[in-house]
């Protein structure tokens, strides 16, 4: 367990350890899970967080590297990770989402390794998310099962553009992906990819801006399909009673991405909503927007 971004308090760390043990796993919190940084939003210094990631990846005692929480700060430590040592150590399972998106991107770009966009152990919602937990456990321990391969698992999907596509999965938090364009840890090509996005706390005009920047930078060149996850608290809010309008962010995505002329499906429960399914990034999948399905076509752990 590491904190590559923001810190955990002692109570949250205790809950995280208990939850991981409840899953039948043996957690070892590394120093960043108890650290405080030069700013209150950072879990220790950039160098210390990078060292924790390097240690967790390279030490044979650990089967996986699991981010305890997101927040902010993972991009600050990316260039301090010893990527050569990580490459020599070989592949390992990386789990997390949100700010951890840039780490998923980095292990794909620098190590060529698939990873799991998955619940974080320090999240208050993780232990209460029975569906997300069941999908996570299937992904980890029965990766070839139908449960692990079926990424949708619900009737909330909408075909925003029809069609079918086969490709490899990429994506994660939209704002993080937009922020890493042109950096050494960004993937150089998304040819043949099915891109999956989620976000939290971003108003529609900001989502518009992220997608516009990515389109102009060529991020979507060669993408064969797009799937939209949860856009939680992404407004705008109703002017009378302040209710969130959940459709606004999805409508912006639909309008901006229509020019790609690829299948576009919304309703996948990944991200900051009450259900957070595990998405195997870098793994081959089949998208059928008309049927509302996204299914892995190879093992979730490769």
Which domains does the chain possess? Answer: 10-128 (3.40.50.10740), 147-296 (3.50.30.60)
198, 202, 266, 269: which one is catalytic?
198
Catalytic-role residue among 5, 6, 98, 175: 98
Q: Which of 50-54, 145-149, 244-248, 288-292 has the lowest mean pLDDT?
A: 244-248
- The pLDDT of residue 154: 64
pLDDT of residue 127: 79
Task: Dump pLDDT digits (tens) for 65-92.
Answer: 999 999 999 999 999 999 999 999 999 9
Does pLDDT of 236 surpass 80? no
Check if 190 is active-site.
no
* DSSP per-residue string spanning 147-202: HHHB---SS--EEEE--EEEEEEEEEEHHHHHHTTTSTTS-S--TTEEEEEEEES-
pLDDT, residue 126, reads 78
Instruction: Output the pLDDT for position 153.
Output: 64
pLDDT tier at 244, thresholds 50, 70, 90: low
What pLDDT score does 80 carry?
Answer: 98
Q: What is the model's pLDDT at position 125?
A: 78
- What pLDDT shows up at residue 247? 86
Catalytic (active site) residue 198: yes
Q: Could you give the CA distance from residue 17 to residue 211 in angstroms, rounded to a whole number?
A: 37
pLDDT of residue 140: 96
Does the annotation count 272 as an active-site position?
yes
Is pLDDT above 60 for 25? yes
Would the pLDDT of 191 be above 60? Answer: yes
At residue 243, does pLDDT exceed 90? no
């Amino acid at each position: 367990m590491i904190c590559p971004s923001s810190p955990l308090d002692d109570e949250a760390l205790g809950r995280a350890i208990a939850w991981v043990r409840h899953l039948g796993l043996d957690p070892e919190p590394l120093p960043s899970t108890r650290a405080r940084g030069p700013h209150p939003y950072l879990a220790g210094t950039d160098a210390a967080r990078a060292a924790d990631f390097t240690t967790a990846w390279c030490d044979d005692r650990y089967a996986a590297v699991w981010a305890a929480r997101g927040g902010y700060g993972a991009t600050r430590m990316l260039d301090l990770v010893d990527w050569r040592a990580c490459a020599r150590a070989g592949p390992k399972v990386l789990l997390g989402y949100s700010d951890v998106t840039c780490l998923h991107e980095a292990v794909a770009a620098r190590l060529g390794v698939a990873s799991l966009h998955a619940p974080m152990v320090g999240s208050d919602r993780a232990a209460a998310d029975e569906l997300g937990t069941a999908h996570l456990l299937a992904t980890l321990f029965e990766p070839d099962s139908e449960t692990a391969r079926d990424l949708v698992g619900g009737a909330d999907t909408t075909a925003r553009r029809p069609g079918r596509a086969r490709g490899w999965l990429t994506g994660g938090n939209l704002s993080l992906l937009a922020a890493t364009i042109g950096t050494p840890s960004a993937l150089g090509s998304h040819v043949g990819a099915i891109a999956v996005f989620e976000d939290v706390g971003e108003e529609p005009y900001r989502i518009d801006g992220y997608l516009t920047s990515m389109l102009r930078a060529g991020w979507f060149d060669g993408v064969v399909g797009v799937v939209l996850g949860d856009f939680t608290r992404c407004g705008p809010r109703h002017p009378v009673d302040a209710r969130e309008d959940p459709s606004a962010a999805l409508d912006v995505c639909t309008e901006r991405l229509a020019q790609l002329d690829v299948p576009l499906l919304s309703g996948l429960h990944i991200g900051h909503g009450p259900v957070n399914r595990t998405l195997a990034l870098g793994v081959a999948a089949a998208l059928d927007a008309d049927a509302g399905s996204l299914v892995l076509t190879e093992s979730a752990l490769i």
